[in-house]
Structure 1
């Protein structure tokens, strides 16, 4: 299979997803300066509409994208020296508005926001996707009738051990731990962890040790600290941490993404509306998260936050200001300092390969 194409042929590459219906370029390829972390755009493709979330294959040969549309689909690209090249027409996921995707056990999984479901598609040996999709539809609702009238799956990802798939649902204030069928790829709900009603969980990140998980909530600017029991597939909420300083107004702030440092000492959260990055110090046990400070995100409406593979730089995809900003992280304090930005209309996601 070989090593990552981007690394072996041209050095590390960043891939920026965007909303083409809002003026985005589709998927933009950018060179990454190995010292400063600066991005230089090289190429873009609008082969599929609204590739708002991306995931590279572990071997770096392929890139997968959702097509966040009412008729939701997913697409596979080959990563070439010229940039991503569409391998085949996008495959329907049988879910509306897929917002997130991941790879696990030879399958691609999407979290479909509007239909409140998670879909799985087989991944062929040549990297292409097969159909039809196998779909798990969530059930339930929450107290916020404007946003939680029904289920809204917002993220799906494997646990560090690869045994379980966790589905984060904003509409039901819960995270489902699921088993993936070896034959048909069907998801079966194993347990469901309830979070505070009205919190609106959006995304989840695991501690590097794999024994804790941190859920970022969209409807109230908080992070829920959870213990993760991989043997039993059980997620247990322990407490919440506010993402804004004392006295800051929370109305109009909608957190989007959370990433964890490679050594597990820090976490960073992106806050849309407040247009900031929250710096969190994680306790040695993983049971606590303490707000250290917030810094400006470098733009408006930071939809995604990504950590450079070497851990020295953070990147925000600022959707409404149409740019990606990068920061240099102080290794002692975890506080990021703005280092530069690049134009990226309707930016929604940044990944590296």
Structure 2
């Protein structure tokens, strides 16, 4: 068991590429260092993880990015995550993301272009899927946007809505989730730049702004969020790489994750291909962002980036180099400094509690 002074991290990885599945690690709060405790391959390709509350503790949830796709719950009382209840079908293929919302776990199913809701049972395990909301549409990229591809799903800061980011349709969608029945109902859709291929978004701490990261174009789209109306409005775009590096066709960049500082002063992205972390400064309103710096991600093909609860450490999951690196964040500039790394084959996700 981990000590009282240590935090806990959970690391997802692709078992089909040699990953260990879901790995638990101790976190040294003073140095940011990770120490692996144990792992389980009970779910295939657990590419994304999320945590939720449970009486007396925490439950870990994972997607299985397979076809057909699955989702599962894990008890994390010991050093090795233990499957909790039944592994559930999500009635969609290749779920890439999940979140806890309105007494349900909701998954974004990339290949199927859909969102699925699964009820939370009393012990924190998952019940059978209660509803599936299928997206429609396409984008200008014939290889990546031939149809809808839901890539992320999350609850908005007010807890009133479920937001999904669709790479295939260049849009962000908002739906309602009935906590009693699990029914998903479409509410609004906001179009972004055609061909941007939005992958993930992060909300500003104020709850009134969101930053949408493009995967097919290395940009962040700044949006105002109206929780009362359940709608986004586009305010502008900002690049996440210097202009001369965005034009380098030899190494195409595919940004993968966006993170906002707890105090709203900085925004970070990780960029596959460029293998970097970008640092953007935010003005006091949060509406204006400017690229300040890029630094190496500590590996190759960073798929995920996570900020620890203290705001002092960033963690990058580098899929193709098979490691998770951590960085000390400069409180004045937001620029991360590489501080360490551990081997995690086919790393895909880092969640901290």
Q: TM-score, normalised by structure 1?
A: 0.96
What's the offset of the Cα at 1:133? 3.8
Query: Does 1:88 find its partner at 2:104?
Result: no
Query: Does 1:319 find its partner at 2:319?
Result: yes
* Contact 1:228–1:236 (Cα < 8 Å) also in 2: yes
What's the offset of the Cα at 1:6? 7.2
3-state secondary structure, aligned to 1:247: helix
**What is the root-mean-square deviation in Å for CA atoms of aligned residues?**
1.3
2:171 and 2:151 map into 1 onto residues whose CA distance is 11
Please list every run of 5 or more consecutive structure 2 residues that lacks an aligned counterpart in the other structure. none
| Per-residue Cα deviation, 1:179-226 (whole angstroms, up to 9, x for no partner) | 112332111111100000000000010000101000000000010000
Q: Which of the numbers 45, 50, 53 marks the counterpart of 1:50?
A: 45
Please list every run of 5 or more consecutive structure 1 residues that lacks an aligned counterpart in the other structure. none
2:60 and 2:324 map into 1 onto residues whose CA distance is 19
1:34 and 1:314 map into 2 onto residues whose CA distance is 12
3-state secondary structure, aligned to 1:21: helix
- Cα 1:230–1:174 change in 2 (3 A) is same
3-state secondary structure, aligned to 2:174: strand
Query: Does 1:235 find its partner at 2:232?
Result: yes
Q: Which of the numbers 97, 116, 128 marks the counterpart of 1:131?
A: 128
* Aligned length, in residue pairs: 348
* Contact 1:68–1:98 (Cα < 8 Å) also in 2: yes
Q: Which residue of 2 aligns with 1:177?
A: 174
Query: Does 1:76 find its partner at 2:99?
Result: no
| Per-residue Cα deviation, 1:1-27 (whole angstroms, up to 9, x for no partner) | xxxx978x6731111000000000001
3-state secondary structure, aligned to 1:143: coil
Q: Which residue of 2 aligns with 1:21?
A: 16
- Cα 1:10–1:335 change in 2 (3 A) is closer
1:58 and 1:226 map into 2 onto residues whose CA distance is 30
3-state secondary structure, aligned to 2:76: strand
Q: Which residue of 2 aligns with 1:287?
A: 287
2:160 and 2:295 map into 1 onto residues whose CA distance is 37
What are the within-5 Å matches in structure 2 for residues 211-230 of structure 1?
211-230=208-227
- Cα 1:10–1:42 change in 2 (3 A) is farther
With 123-132 and 13-22 compared, the bigger mean Cα shift is at 123-132
Runs of 4+ with >6 A deviation: none
* Contact 1:244–1:250 (Cα < 8 Å) also in 2: no
What's the offset of the Cα at 1:154? 0.2
What's the offset of the Cα at 1:250? 5.1
1:134 and 1:30 map into 2 onto residues whose CA distance is 34
Query: Does 1:35 find its partner at 2:19?
Result: no
2:227 and 2:156 map into 1 onto residues whose CA distance is 8
| Per-residue Cα deviation, 1:231-282 (whole angstroms, up to 9, x for no partner) | 1111011111111112113541100000000000001000000000000001
